[in-house]
Structure 1
Amino acid sequence: MNQQQEQLATLHEIRNIMDRSSRFISLSGLSGISAGATALAGAAVVQWYLGEYQISYRGSSELTLNQNALLFLLAVALGVLVVALGLASFFTIRRARRNNQRIWDSKSQRLLVNLAIPLAAGGVFCAVLLYHSILYLVAPAMLVFYGLALINGSKYTFSDIRNLGICELVLGLVSSFFVGYGLLAWTIGFGVLHMVYGALVYFKYER
């Protein structure tokens, strides 16, 4: 029995070594939690702005925004992105240092490249939607392309990210049919799902 346990422990150690050599495993669950909290805060600001200026998002595919409103929403989205990336980088670097792991190596480079390709395509597509004033599909498109990016990059990091990507993709596709709920879907996808994913990763790998 002891010999069998030793063999299983050896196999487990070999698998861990292989994972460390082929996957970027320094991602912190706190990164997901902080990104989700930032997205929720951004969504709250947007909801306040829409209510303050009596702009109705729900119930119509003919959403129109004046230049000031559009610039405000873009500024909030950019702010959420910058803060979320900053916090994610901070927690990831801190975890890597604690585990004596490198941040910038071939694994992290492959991860970033595979994330960047769908994200860049999604950014261009969202810009096209804005250019043609198809505003009601911007939030669903962001979820779809973000989900594809996570799925594409999941083979270079924790497999849990693939599940998050699938959830984001499905949510984006569903919300594209119910365009009046795009903001709600965006809040759930980038806020709630990120926090749930972050908590699962934290308690699974970091506790």
Structure 2
Amino acid sequence: MNQQDLIKEIGHIRSMMEKSSKVLSISGLSGVLIGIYALLGAAVGYVVVYGFDSGFDYRDHYVTEPAVIETLIFIALVVLVASLATGLWMARRKAKKTRQLIWNPSSKAMLLAMAIPLMTGGLFSLILLSKGYFSLIGATLLIFYGLSLTSGSVYTFKEVRWLGILEILLGLLALLLPGYGLWFWAFGFGVLHIIYGFIVHKRYE
């Protein structure tokens, strides 16, 4: 075996080790679609609160109204379900194409690492909701979602870590400007996801 063959063999072994220890079935295009879902959800939420023809200085309703809260929660749940379904479907599709298992020790570890911050953030947001701190919920979701991404990023693409860091920073900024939670939510879950998705798609797909 000459030096060139040895280098190829080492590269092959490294690739196999990476596939066994990393979750590489995450689709970049699913990130783009999830971002689009978030922007659509934010647009509908804006119409619910501000109306069609209102400016920034006028709103038809307030988020403290029970009917508005229920509508916004419903919109968020629809976006969440659509995002999870799209992410899972496209991950399975990519895994099948690359002949990888979507459910393996690495994906289980990543799911557990992400679940703890996500569940904590969800429960904390429900507490804020029950106490009437509506203006803090958007920032809270961004921060805990970012923590979830950074926690799970050790098992997948490095871009996930940077997305998580940006989500955390955006959430902290949203805490300083609590009246603009919907806009920060749209940028964090929408625009950043679309940018991240395009980067992952270009680099790995």
**Fold similarity call, TM over 0.5:** yes
Between the aligned partners of 2:126 and 2:73, the Cα distance in structure 1 is 11
Counterparts of 1:117 and 1:57, CA distance in 2: 37
Per the alignment, residue 78 of structure 1 pairs with 77
Q: Which runs of 5+ in 1 are unaligned?
A: none
Aligned to 1:107: 106
Structure 2 counterpart of 1:191, one-letter code: G
CA contact (8 A) 1:58 1:181 kept: no
Distance 1:166 1:89, change over 3 A: same
**Is the CA contact 1:46–1:76 (under 8 Å) kept in the aligned structure 2?**
yes
Q: Distance in 1 between matches of 2:188 and 2:115?
A: 19
How do 1:78-97 residues align onto structure 2 when only pairs under 5 Å count?
A: 78-97=77-96
Q: Which amino acid aligns with 2:122?
A: G
Which residue does the alignment assign to 1:41?
A: 40
Q: 1:36-64 CA distances to partner (integer Å, 9 max, x unpaired)?
A: 010011001001111229999889xxx65
Inter-partner Cα distance in structure 1 for 2:126 and 2:97: 40
Percent identical: 39
In the TM superposition, what is the alpha-carbon distance from 1:146 to its structure 2 partner? Answer: 0.2
In the other structure, the counterpart of 1:184 is 183
Provide TM-score, normalisation by structure 2. 0.91
In 2 relative to 1, CA 135–79 (structure 1 residues): closer, same or farther, beyond 3 Å? same
Report the equivalent of 2:195.
196
Indicate if the aligned counterparts of 2:170 and 2:184 stay in contact, CA closer than 8 A.
Answer: yes
User: What letter corresponds to residue 98 of structure 1 in structure 2?
Assistant: K
SS of residue in 1 equivalent to 2:18: helix
Q: How many residues align?
A: 201
1:12 paired with 2:14, answer no
Where does residue 136 of structure 2 map in the other structure? 137
Q: CA distance change for structure 1 residues 110 and 11 in 2, over 3 Å: closer, same or farther? A: same
Could you tell me which residue of structure 1 aligns to residue 22 of structure 2?
Answer: 23
Change (3 A) 1:102 1:57: farther
Once residues 53 and 40 of structure 1 are traced to their aligned partners in structure 2, the CA distance between those partners, rounded to angstroms, is 16
Distance 1:54 1:100 in 2: 51
Question: Contact between 2:49 and 2:63, CA under 8 Å: does it hold in 1?
Answer: no
- Mapped to 1, the partners of 2:57 and 2:79 lie a distance apart of 22
Deviation of the 1:157 alpha carbon:
1.1
The corresponding residue for 1:164 is: 163
For residues 12 and 34 of structure 1, do their structure 2 counterparts lie closer, same or farther at Cα, with a shift above 3 Å needed? Answer: same
Task: Sort the Cα spacing of 1:71 and 1:11 in 2 relative to 1 into closer, same or farther, 3 A.
Answer: same
Per the normalisation by structure 1, the TM-score is 0.90
